[in-house]
Amino acid sequence: MKKIALLFFFILKLYTASAQKSANFIYVDFSSTKKLSKLSEKVNVVAKDFNDPFVLFLSNDNAPVIIRGNEGIDNGLGQMFSLRPSSPDFVADIDTINAIFSNSYIINGLNNTSTDSNYQVKLFFFLSAEKFEQNYLNKNLIDRLLLTNRLVSKDGLKDGVHVTIFLDGDFDPSGDFYADLMKNRKFKVQSY
């Protein structure tokens, strides 16, 4: 009886993972934004478009708020207004995010191409333009997440991986820094 139950559980997990067409991850640093309401609205719009599972990660030093799925998103976004945000600890954030990815099916679907060749991993980052440039977050946050989760190859982003960066503040999308991210790295960069 135990073997049948175990087999049923394994088949159910396999079916759930293979039925899922995409995995979505949203990273939000709200520590220096002056447009908290606009940020909350934009995150909500992005998250509401998801039909498949997603994780919302609100960075807050060593106490991030982590929401899985639509059920807790309103509460999670509401916490942005009640918390006194601290600057992110990007190294700790990467470790926490990697643990989330390894304990879920977020990345497994893409790395197991036998599941579905149309599987998509969509990563969204909401950041301050000033912090993004000063802290080299393209390398110190985004690239590290992509590398440690095998979402890039020597040719760039793997097929099915999409990175969108939403920036708060002044930045010049036509400048060399952003042009490289958009043209060579295939990241989408826009303001919110």
Nearest to 170, CA basis, from 143, 142, 192, 137: 192
The single-letter code of the amino acid at 90 is: F
Q: Are 141 and 130 in contact (CB under 8 A)?
A: no
pTM exceeds cut of 0.85: no
**Amino acid 27: pLDDT:** 95
Boundaries of every domain in the chain: 2-191
Predicted confidence (pLDDT) at residue 7 exceeds the cutoff of 90: no
The contacts of residue 40 (CB under 8 Å, 6+ apart) are 77, 80, 81
Cα-Cα-Cα-Cα dihedral sign, residues 137, 170, 63, 111: negative
The pLDDT tens digits for 30-56 are 888 888 888 888 988 888 888 777 888
Instruction: Answer left, alpha or beta for residue 169, where phi above 0 means left and psi between -120 and 50 means alpha.
Output: left
Q: Compute the distance between CA of residue 175 and CA of residue 180 in angstroms, rounded to an integer.
A: 9
The pLDDT tens digits for 62-114 are 889 888 876 667 767 777 777 787 889 999 999 999 988 887 666 655 555 44
CA dihedral in degrees (63, 84, 137, 39; nearest 10)? 110
Q: Are 160 and 118 in contact (CB under 8 A)?
A: yes
Q: Are 165 and 181 in contact (CB under 8 A)?
A: yes
Per CATH, the homologous superfamily of domain 2-191 is von Willebrand factor, type A domain (3.40.50.410)
**Amino acid 192: pLDDT:** 86
Once rounded to an integer, what is the mean pLDDT over residues 16-40?
A: 79
Neighbours of 152 (CB within 10 A): 16
